[in-house]
Homo-oligomer: A and B are copies of this chain.
Amino acid sequence: MDHFTDRLIAGIRRCGNPVLVGLDPRPGDLPGPLRPQDSGDLPAWAQAYQQFCCGVIDVIAPLVAVIKPQAAFFEQLGPAGMAALARVMDHGRQKGLLVILDGKRNDIGSTATAYAQGYLGTIPPSGWGADALTVSPYLGEDSLEPFVQTAQARGAGVFVLVKTSNPGGKRFQDLQVEGRPLYAHVGQLVESLAVRTLGRNDYGAIGAVVGATYPAQLGELRAVLPHCWFLVPGYGAQGGAAADVAGAFDARGLGAIVNSSRGIIFAHDRPEYRQTYGPRRWQEAVEAATRAMIGELQAATPAGRLSEGSG
């Protein structure tokens, strides 16, 4: 399998945009026609999540290169939800999308190895077949090492939480240590892992999660982590705009993928689309919102250069 960032860049150049669509099937936001009648019937909800997420994938697969299923919402439903997650990931792969599983996993030593080997790579030996996984850094460098090894061996990617998009993230991440915030120390470790895992491009298989809601820090981290690909959450519903994420890209328009979840998958309920589409034409709303986000990023960030060089 080719290096993760080489595959990522190929997909982004083919589509001409760095949009990452997050699959976060929240029960209360699912289009009405898809909701099961019995709110406590977990397998019925799992079936609904699968139908909904596969329906999103069908719409966006011609437009974008990457999806990011959020494990938590599937896990919430118990084993039936995990079976649905596997089928959604499989559907995404079959449609030619790269699949980043957002699980924010990690543990010590051999347990981290189980997460890495279980989630990353093709099935088998992986149980899930994700192209990349999000990972938490609190357990330190030995907890990240199994992910580095597995990513290298299988052409997979890893995105380590560095600066998250939520307001409370600053509680620990912004603590000052030797004149720099904690997230900069975490970023420094991630950069060292990226340098060890470079593809044919200048980016490593180990990247960083950096929120769109902190534009100044995005630009600052771009400068000091030149080999880290950034997964940028927080666009749209969480408040990040195209101008906020401009600093995440390099001069070629590479180096970042920008995630929107609710703003795309539940677009049927956004004020600007509600009247035109509504819950029955939710897939058309997904397409409209995806095209709108692509246009915003192409207009206001270096990602606009991606389409110039393609075709």
Which residues of A are at the interface with B, using a C-beta cutoff of 8 A?
A: 24, 26, 40, 42, 70, 72-73, 75-83, 85-86, 102, 104-112, 114-115, 117-119, 123-128, 136-143, 145, 161, 164-173, 175-177, 182, 185-186, 189
Closest Cβ of chain B: how far from A56's Cβ, in Å? 17
A168 and B139 form a contact (CB under 8 A): yes
Q: How far is the CA of A126 from the CA of B79 in the complex (A)?
A: 11
Our pick among B40, B76, B140, B175 for the contact of A115 (Cβ within 8 Å) is B76
Contact B171 A75 (CB under 8 A): no
- The verdict on A73 contacting B111 (CB below 8 Å), with A118-B78, A140-B173 known, is yes
Q: Which of B26, B72, B139, B164 contacts A164 (CB 8 A)?
A: B139
Closest chain-B Cβ to A43's Cβ sits at a distance in Å of 10
Alpha-carbon gap, A42 to B270, bound state (A): 42
Decide yes or no: A138 and B141 within 8 Å by CB, A115-B72, A175-B185, A182-B182 being known contacts. Answer: no
Q: Determine the distance from Cα of A175 to Cα of B175 in the docked complex, in whole angstroms.
A: 10
Distance A153 CA – B126 CA, assembled complex (angstroms):
37
Task: List B contacts of A137 (CB < 8 A).
Answer: 138, 172
Q: A127-B78, A127-B81, A136-B106 are in contact. Are A171 and B114 (CB under 8 A)?
A: no
Contact assessment for A169 and B118 in the assembled complex, using a CB-CB cutoff below 8 Å: no
In the complex, are the beta carbons of A175 and B172 less than 8 A apart? no
Report yes or no: A139 in contact with B175, Cβ–Cβ below 8 A: no
**Closest-CB distance, A93 to chain B (whole angstroms):** 14
Q: List 21 A-B contacts (CB under 8 A).
A: A42-B127, A70-B107, A72-B107, A73-B111, A73-B114, A75-B128, A76-B115, A76-B127, A78-B127, A79-B85, A79-B86, A82-B82, A102-B107, A104-B105, A104-B136, A108-B164, A137-B138, A139-B164, A142-B167, A172-B185, A175-B185
